[in-house]
Amino acid sequence: MPDHKTPACDCGYEVSATDEAGRVEEIRAHAREAHGIAFSVEEALLVLLRSELDVSRDSSESGIRQRRMSQGGTP
Ligand SMILES: [Zn+2]
């Protein structure tokens, strides 16, 4: 599944803002409106970072493995 973003929220909500400050505000607004949770800026940042870390770890690992496999033999 290429180009699929990991949702920032467990309920499947994805942020659409492109800058970090916008994402933080979006997460905070979503948590408050959809879940009744008041996130601090720090908590919203943690949620964002965690979802971004999962995405990059996933894609870089499988990317490296696939590249190694397809190169395979000696040049
Ligand atoms: Zn949610």
Going from the Cα of 62 to the center of ligand 1, the distance in angstroms, rounded, reads 28
Q: Max alpha carbon distance in the chain (Å)?
A: 58
Instruction: Tell me the per-residue pLDDT of 10-55, one tens digit each, with 9 for 90 and over.
Output: 899 989 999 999 999 999 999 999 999 999 999 999 988 888 787 6
Within a 10 A sphere around the Cβ of 72, how many other Cβ atoms? 6
Instruction: Tell me the per-residue pLDDT of 58-75, one tens digit each, with 9 for 90 and over.
Output: 555 555 555 555 566 667
Q: Are 27 and 20 in contact (CB under 8 A)?
A: no
Going from the Cα of 57 to the center of ligand 1, the distance in angstroms, rounded, reads 23
Dihedral class, residue 72 (left if φ above 0, else alpha if ψ from -120 to 50, else beta): left
Domain extents for the chain?
A: 20-71
Tokens (6 digits) for 16: 């659409």
pLDDT of 9 reads 87
| pTM given for the model | 0.64
